[in-house]
Amino acid sequence: MSLAEEVRDAALQLGFVRVGFSPVEPFARGGNALADWLAKGRHGEMAYMAEHPGRADPTSLLAEAKTLIVVALPYTRHVSEAKALHGRVARYAMGGDYHAVMKNKLRALADKLGALTSRPVLARPCVDSAPILEREAAERAGVGFIAKSTMSIVPGVGSYVFLGELLVDVDLEPSMPERSRCGSCVKCIAACPTGAIVDAQILDARRCISYLTIELRGTIPVDLRPLIGTWVYGCDICQEVCPFNASQQERPVAPEMRARFTSLELSTLLAMGSSEHKRLVKDSAMRRVSRVQLARNAAVALGNCNDPRAIAPLVAALHAHASPLVRAHAAWALGRYANGHEEARAALATAAENETNAEVMSEIAAARSIPSTGPS
Q: State the CB neighbour count (10 A cutoff) for residue 358.
A: 10
- What are the C-alpha distances in Å from 114 to residues 7, 10, 151? 10, 12, 32
What are the φ/ψ torsions at residue 337 (nearest 5 degrees)? -110, -10
Q: State the CB neighbour count (10 A cutoff) for residue 59.
A: 14
What are the φ/ψ torsions at residue 350 (nearest 5 degrees)? -65, -45
Q: Is 128 a catalytic residue?
A: yes
d(C-alpha 311, C-alpha 87), whole Å: 15
Reference 188, options 233, 216, 150, 214; nearest CA is 150
Reference 126, options 74, 60, 39; nearest CA is 60
In DSSP terms, which residues pair with 158 in a beta bridge?
154
Task: Label each residue of 127-166 as H, E or C.
Answer: CCCCCCCHHHHHHHCCCCEECCCCCEEECCCECCEEEEEE
3-state helix, strand, coil in the chain (%, to 5): 45, 10, 40
Q: State the CB neighbour count (10 A cutoff) for residue 234.
A: 23
What are the φ/ψ torsions at residue 292 (nearest 5 degrees)? -65, -40
Choice among 9, 128, 169, 307 that is catalytic: 128
Strands 152-153 and 145-146, by their bridges, are antiparallel
Catalytic residue ranges = 128
